[in-house]
Structure 1
Amino acid sequence: MSFESWVEHQIVQARERGDLEGLSGAGKPLPRRDREKSTYEWALEWARREEADVAAMLPTGLALRKEREELPARVARQPTEELARAVVEAHVARVDRYYRQPVEGPWIPVGMPDVQEMVAQWRLDRPPALPAPELPVPSPRRRRWLRRRAA
């Protein structure tokens, strides 16, 4: 049995079972695709239409570069120095893993951020901590004793 006759046979069986009944878009022509669009442009259009994350489609090197560009803003949003340091160190670990693994496709240099420099910038961006207001020290109270005069 040839491939074309096998496909036709599968379609006939599906029609007999009713699998092709009530499908959305039934009786409508297929949407036309522009032949000028590259595969990448078509994939981007599909991802936007399906509300998918376009950044997830990037190769690892480009995704890490994009993350590196957004790193200063992510670090600045962290409430404590420990969290800011953890965000940068996690990024450094991902870049290190990318550099050590075999690369499929073109190798893209990402660059390694300096953890100490990023944390120092986080400290500079923070407003200085205001000293705690000093509470007035109560002065010792003088007790006035009424002196009774002997009459």
Structure 2
Amino acid sequence: MADCLFCAIVAGTVPAFKVIDVPSGVGFLDIRPVFKGHVLVVPRQHVVTLPELPSSDLAEYFGLVQRVTAAVPPALGAQGTFVAINNVVSQSVAHLHTHVVPRTKGDGLRGFFWPRTKYASDEEAADYAAKIASELG
């Protein structure tokens, strides 16, 4: 897609600090990282959200995400990673991308992405579960 920043990075017409460039996608540093070494992994094809990614591409795409997730801790001396995908809300670029953020115990990141809440009752929780289960068929 001509006006998509991530498509331009994949095509090589916009520079990025790439960490991997393979047929299943591209990984590059986020220019506004949560922590240094924060990588964005994108599929080569332009899709906006995870549900739009063809199921035939899931294994290769998530295989790439898995490779990056495995590489970040030893490469950076981190203890682990935080892996996340936004779909529409908080998605600053309308191209599917998976965040792989290096994490170390005590790094200060605490629930900053998701404020927590509680269900009013087990019945309310069961109702939410039933609605989602129904949608899944």
Q: How high is the TM-score relative to the length of structure 1?
A: 0.25
Q: How high is the TM-score relative to the length of structure 2?
A: 0.26
Q: Which has the higher helix share?
A: 1
Larger RCO (alpha carbons 8 Å, 6+ apart):
2
Q: Which has the higher strand share?
A: 2
